[in-house]
Every structure is written in structure tokens, then in C-alpha cells.
């Protein structure tokens, strides 16, 4: 199996990440609309309602028996507002991680491996992953972030060696 260059694993991953960026973007827009409906509107009791009210009715009829929702419902509006920047930060971090990873795999697809731009991208991905893990309390992401930080140092050394090799005539 080819890992670098055209028609390789990197090429496939680059395509998947490109597609998943748009999927995450669309899903997050839907989530923002749904979240806003859930957090800031009053439940509609009428089953014959139309449009947004119908969506509102469907969502609240599903949530009625949910224990987590019953806890959230009791929170004041000021606290509920804080949910939006929290989820917003998660979505922005996720989109950035996907975008940077896609950039990295596109470089791999073009046979650009030990390059300063890749070192910078890996460093950014690792920092974003660490930030993501802290926000979501996901320690597997934290481990991945730290590993990427190590990989960044390896790539830094690799880039120096590559430069040395390219400038040896």
C-alpha cells in the first residue's frame, strides 16, 4: 500500500477530511438552530402547530422524559446562554483540526513531507487537540495531542536533515 503521493492513503484521507469538513459545518449549523430552539424557546403544546413551532413541539415531546433535560430546564437563562460559546468553541476547534489535517494530508499527497509548513501544521493540530481535550474532558485526545507534539519535534529534525540533503551537491 502506498502511503505518500497520488492514489495513496494520504490522498484518500485528504479527500475524506475535505468532505467531513463540510459535513461537520452543516451539522453544526443544524445543531446551533436546534440548540437555540431548545435553550431559548418555550415549549409548544399544540401538536397541530406548523413550521418552527412544529419542530419545537417534536423536540420537546422527545425531551419531556429526559432526566438531563429536566435538570437543564431548571437552570436560569444566563447560565443557559453559556452553553452556546462552549459548544461553539468545540465546533470551531473540530473544524480547525479537520482543516489543518486536510492541509497536512494534501501535502503528503503531493510528496511534500519534511517541510517547514508541515512542522507548523502538526504543531497547530497538536495544540488544537490539546485544547479540544481540555474542553471536552477527553483524555485520549490529550494523549494524541501530546504524541503529535512529539511528532512535530521529529518532523523539525527531519526537515533540517532534508534541507541539509537538498543543499549537498
Partner 1 sequence: MSIIFRLDRVMADRKISLNELAKRIQLTNSNLSILKTGKARAIRMSTLEAICRELNCQPGDLLEYQPDEKNILE
Q: How far is the CB of 169 from partner 1 (least distance, A)?
A: 5
Nearer to partner 1, 71 or 169 (CB): 169
Nearer to partner 1, 67 or 165 (CB): 165
Q: How far is the CB of 88 from partner 1 (least distance, A)?
A: 47
Q: CB neighbours (10 Å) of residue 119? A: 20
Which residues lie closer than 8 Å to 142 by C-beta, 6 or more apart? Answer: 129, 130, 133, 134
Residues 137-166 binding partner 1 (CB under 8 A) are 163-164
C-alpha cell at 154: 521529529
DSSP string, 41-106: SPPP--TT--THHHHHHHHHHHHTT-HHHHHHHTS-HHHHHTHHHHHHHHHHHHHHHHHHHHHHHH
Nearer to partner 1, 68 or 166 (CB): 166
Nearer to partner 1, 45 or 163 (CB): 163
C-alpha cell at 157: 529534525
Nearer to partner 1, 62 or 163 (CB): 163
Q: How far is the CB of 165 from partner 1 (least distance, A)?
A: 9
Residue 28 to residue 34: CA distance in whole angstroms: 10
**Residue 113 DSSP class:** -
Q: How far is the CB of 164 from partner 1 (least distance, A)?
A: 6
Q: How far is the CB of 119 from partner 1 (least distance, A)?
A: 19
Number of residues forming the site for partner 1 (CB under 8 A) = 5
Q: Please report, as ranges, the residues that interact with partner 1 according to CB under 8 A.
A: 163-164, 167-169
Amino acid at each position: 500500500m502506498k502511503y505518500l503521493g497520488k492514489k495513496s492513503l494520504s490522498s484518500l484521507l485528504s479527500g475524506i477530511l475535505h468532505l467531513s469538513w463540510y459535513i461537520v459545518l452543516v451539522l453544526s449549523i443544524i445543531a446551533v438552530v436546534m440548540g437555540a430552539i431548545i435553550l431559548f424557546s418555550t415549549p409548544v403544546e399544540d401538536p397541530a402547530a406548523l413550521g418552527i413551532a412544529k419542530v419545537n413541539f417534536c423536540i420537546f415531546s422527545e425531551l419531556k422524559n429526559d432526566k438531563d433535560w429536566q435538570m437543564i430546564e431548571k437552570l436560569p437563562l444566563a447560565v443557559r446562554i453559556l452553553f452556546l460559546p462552549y459548544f461553539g468553541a468545540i465546533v470551531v476547534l473540530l473544524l480547525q483540526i479537520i482543516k489543518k489535517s486536510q492541509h497536512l494530508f494534501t501535502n503528503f499527497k503531493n510528496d511534500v513531507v519534511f517541510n517547514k509548513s508541515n512542522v507548523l501544521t502538526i504543531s497547530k493540530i497538536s495544540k488544537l487537540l490539546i485544547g479540544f481535550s481540555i474542553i471536552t474532558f477527553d483524555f485520549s485526545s490529550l494523549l494524541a495531542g501530546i504524541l503529535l507534539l512529539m511528532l512535530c519535534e521529529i518532523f523539525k529534525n527531519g526537515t533540517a536533515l532534508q534541507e541539509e540533503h537538498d543543499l549537498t551537491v
